[in-house]
Structure 1
């Protein structure tokens, strides 16, 4: 332990992990989808997820990406960007659902994620929030999109749940009204949403503590110390 600075090292506080201290309002879940087609299966799947989440007692919002500019092609004050960032700040958990296109997630979904900053002033908009991942495919079952999104979720410092949903040949799985047909694939969607709600309830009220890092505490202390030294030098 000789390399650890005692001022920044903290023992694990088991009380904070075990005592239910979360807020009493319904969990707030934001859902994003990755296609602008009129008959968008990722949008249909997000609406199915929303119905399930509401049945589990959550408050939900679905973001419509139509009109969102490409990253860096507009300022952050664009109304669609502002709407997305406000919803992200409002949420405690998120659902990302993308079609698989050319073996990857779509640009529509990636653009939404790219508009969400890792930090906004002293606030990290995604840090500690829960995340569930789903994808739809036109062909056989694949996990390319969910695997990509899982990497992004980790990069955004989100608590990405273990379960996920991949719906192959999505055109066969939804009826004319856009409702998903009963199947084992639908049952998996229920599993994923149930798990998301459980993890969100488990993490809420504790996320700041769970993602509190020794290295960041150390860096903050060193910055504060440097600022104090600089201020003292000016006063002299």
Structure 2
């Protein structure tokens, strides 16, 4: 069964290692897993109930909601900023959590992975992201974890797609996410 997985990257930087990690997931996705990278998180305004009304929802937020609604699962890639997830990813989750109880993320299988400069690879950000998307209604795969430390050194000369260990780990994450979404 083909499973549509939407990837959201919590870094807006052009040379982001998390963006590269998402590209590696696309390249090494197992058969039956179709991963699409969502473009446009930078265009979404901060969540505000005053603009989240029918007929007034910003086009960028509406596009995000539609992309998530059309997906079978979500794969979130996040760096760690000051010990937590970046605002752009939290904002996306906030838009996806509405309307309360019926947001686009409700019931979707979700895995959270990423890389960061520090020695723990962003585990605090990953934990916070799992918590936030779980509260928003996502079906978080709590035991699916991949936090790659030392991103600046590890990926200084090697794209994550060309790192055999990372490629194998990403393939396993995507396979688990695929299995969960296919069983739903």
Specify the alignment match of 1:101 in structure 2. Answer: 81
Which runs of 5 or more structure 2 residues have no equivalent in the other structure?
A: none
Picking from 119, 133, 153, the partner of 1:140 is: 119
| Greater radius of gyration (CA) | 1
Note the C-alpha offset of 1:70.
Answer: 1.8
Normalised TM-score (structure 1): 0.67
Q: Is the strand fraction higher in 1 or 2? A: 2
* Residue 67 (structure 1) aligned to one of 43, 51, 68: 43
**Which one has more relative contact order, counting CA pairs under 8 Å at least 6 apart?**
2
Instruction: Report the aligned-residue RMSD.
Output: 2.3
CA contact under 8 A between 2:24 and 2:167: conserved in structure 1? no
Maintained 8 Å contact 1:135/1:166: yes
Secondary structure of the 2:161 match is coil
Other-structure match for 1:33:
9
Corresponding residue number in structure 2 for 1:113: 93
CA contact (8 A) 1:135 1:165 kept: yes
* 1:174–1:180 CA contact under 8 A, matched in 2: no
Deviations 1:60-97 (A, max 9, x none): 32112132222229834222111101101111100111
TM-score by length of 2: 0.84
Size of the aligned set, in residue pairs, is: 177
